[in-house]
Copies of this chain bind each other. A is one copy, B any other.
Amino acid sequence: MSAGRPFLYLSHADVVAAGVLDAARCVDVCEEVFGLLASGDYLMGGPGKNSHGLGLVFPASSPFPGMPLAGPDRRFVAMPAYVGGRFDVCGNKWYGSNPANPGRGLPRSVLTLTLNDKDTGEPLCLMSANAVSAARTGAIPALASRCLAPGSRVLAVIGCGVVNRAVVAAVMTQQPALEHVVLHDVDADASELMAAWVRDTYGVRADTAPTADACVAGADLVSVAASRRTPLEIASGSFADGATVLLSGPMASDDAFWCDSRVVYDHVPLHQEYVREAAAAPDRGAAYDALIGGPLYRLIDAGRVPPLEGSVDLGSLLSGRVPRPVDPDARTVVVACGMAVFDVALGLDLYTTAVERGLGRALDLWGDELPPTAADLRPTRS
């Protein structure tokens, strides 16, 4: 009888104590999940099983004084998933995002993750998910770089926030030859601060660049994860031949950037679902505008970029089902939009460690009472 079992609450400090800052471990978990994505042993939201999530979309204006209004990075999103394999668990990431938060002493997004028994639906764990989400977001470009650009020496970092710190931490575990990091942020202080962190933490050369175009000029690897508050545009001619461009956030460029690149998706069915959802939305163009892959979807619709069906994704590359590309002069663009399966899998790993180490606080869902109506629903003759 499982009724009344407690669930575990893990604060951010608990999640750190459970090992979320171990980038190599997070990369390993994400690689394992890519295997499950490639084989199909997972579910995300909706009848198509591949929805990124369901968000609250704020209006541009409103007659109601309290209603939050649209703006870059202003949203709430719920992201449910089931992950199979050794994880075998359901969960939901839920977060709100506001670029005004750092001015309040808060991260831009505030995230929590709930893990649930796949059979009973009972919560197993509620955890602060800021570090979980950053770690899994950083692991994807790192895996992509190992796969597509092993032996890289120069990494360009566009955007010096929490996501690119996680990217650098993860890339460092996969690129032993890396010797130089060049950083750019619209906030010059942020790039200087992160350059110092790279030098202090990893002992590699780190410089800042005054523009995004200058930043990417000599880089084998480019990681883009910049705030949406200032639209980012980089010309295709600014990238080095054969560069691998890792997009964890949106970037605008000229059509040649997309049309002349080898495109690798994180997971093709996720992007097919994005396009299906955009087609069903009241405004397809507005839906595209909100997505990292938006510029690609427009060019696919126009027949100028190969269709999603048959495109290459990281699961098929990492599992060896598709050969890795070999032309060293071709530019590669990797589009990674984030998937709840990574949060849930990494969350389960951390939860398991937290239980082993006695971290967190046990909470009782039902309190002093029996589960509601369990007694009522049990057939009895009184």
Binding site for B on A (CB under 8 A): 1-4, 9, 11-14, 16, 39-41, 43-49, 51, 53-59, 63-64, 66-68, 76-82, 84-85, 88, 90, 92, 94-98, 100-102, 104-110, 112, 114, 116-123, 126, 128, 130-131, 134, 161-162, 165, 187, 189-190, 193-194, 196-197, 276-277, 279-283, 286-287, 361, 363-374, 376-382
Other than the given A43-B56, A92-B92, A105-B378, 15 more pairs (CB < 8 A) read A9-B9, A9-B363, A11-B363, A45-B78, A46-B54, A55-B80, A64-B84, A90-B96, A94-B114, A96-B122, A101-B121, A102-B374, A126-B126, A161-B373, A161-B377
A180 vs B79: C-alpha distance in the bound complex, in angstroms? Answer: 45
Residue among B81, B122, B128, B276 making CB contact with A106, cutoff 8 Å: B122
The answer to whether A81 and B109 touch across the interface, beta carbons within 8 angstroms, is no
The answer to whether B76 and A364 touch across the interface, beta carbons within 8 angstroms, is no
Nearest-neighbour CB distance to chain B for A94, whole angstroms, equals 5
List chain B residues, Cβ under 8 A from A41.
64, 66-67
Give the most central of A41, A197, A367, A377: most B CB within 10 Å. Answer: A377
A1 vs B47: C-alpha distance in the bound complex, in angstroms? Answer: 42
Number of copies: 2
Residue among B39, B118, B162 making CB contact with A373, cutoff 8 Å: B162
List chain B residues, Cβ under 8 A from A120.
96, 98, 101, 104, 106, 110
21 residue pairs bridging A and B, Cβ less than 8 Å apart: A2-B106, A11-B366, A13-B366, A13-B367, A40-B63, A41-B64, A43-B67, A47-B283, A64-B84, A66-B84, A68-B82, A76-B90, A78-B78, A94-B116, A96-B116, A98-B119, A105-B370, A106-B122, A112-B114, A112-B365, A130-B371
